[in-house]
């Protein structure tokens, strides 16, 4: 169990760095008006935003939620199960929002048509605040696992 908690500590550090990177890109892209024919520099900013959004959502759902379930001796289950358990534990505020975030992450990973990219950019701008805010609740929740560890 100690190894799992150490791994959680490592992933929480990754979580904070990924949050900071997404926050930077989000603030930058909020200033750009989405329109057809974005400049290469603007497209590069939105591509960084979507990549960082996907990375942060993966860290949360695929790594942090799995570790929390492992430490809590929960069944592995599906992605939906992990998200629902996180909501029940108070780790996140809304399972529905995180299911939408997961769907969006999959759209980002499989996006090949440029006309769909603008719709994805809009969704990422819309869901980024939820994802960013969740980092604090996740970190607060995870602190209970470190109270019994000697530092």
* pLDDT tens, per residue, the chain with 151 residues: 789 999 999 999 999 999 999 999 999 999 999 988 899 999 999 999 999 999 999 999 999 999 999 999 988 889 999 999 999 999 999 999 999 999 999 999 887 665 588 999 999 999 999 999 999 999 999 999 888 655 4
CA–CA dist 149, 121 (Å, integer): 42
User: Are 82 and 98 a contacting pair, CB within 8 Å?
Assistant: no
Which residues fall within 8 angstroms of residue 3, CB to CB, at 6 or more apart? none
Structure-block tokens of residue 98? 């995180």
User: Are 125 and 26 a contacting pair, CB within 8 Å?
Assistant: yes
Please give the CATH number for the structural domain made up of 2-145. 1.20.120.330
Phi and psi for 88 in degrees, rounded to 5?
-60, -35
pTM for the model: 0.92
């Amino acid at each position: 169990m100690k190894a799992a908690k150490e791994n959680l500590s490592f992933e929480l550090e990754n979580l904070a760095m990924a949050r900071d990177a997404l926050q930077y890109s989000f603030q930058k892209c909020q200033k750009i008006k989405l329109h057809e024919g974005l400049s290469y520099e603007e497209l590069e900013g939105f591509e960084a935003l979507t990549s960082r959004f996907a990375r942060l959502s993966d860290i949360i759902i695929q790594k942090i939620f799995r570790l929390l379930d492992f430490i809590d001796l929960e069944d592995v289950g599906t992605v939906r199960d992990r998200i629902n358990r996180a909501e029940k534990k108070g780790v996140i505020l809304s399972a529905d929002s995180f299911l939408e975030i997961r769907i969006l992450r999959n759209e980002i990973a499989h996006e090949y048509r440029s006309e769909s990219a603008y719709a994805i950019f809009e969704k990422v701008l819309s869901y980024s605040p939820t994802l960013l805010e969740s980092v604090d609740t996740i970190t607060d929740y995870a602190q209970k696992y470190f109270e019994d560890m000697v530092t």
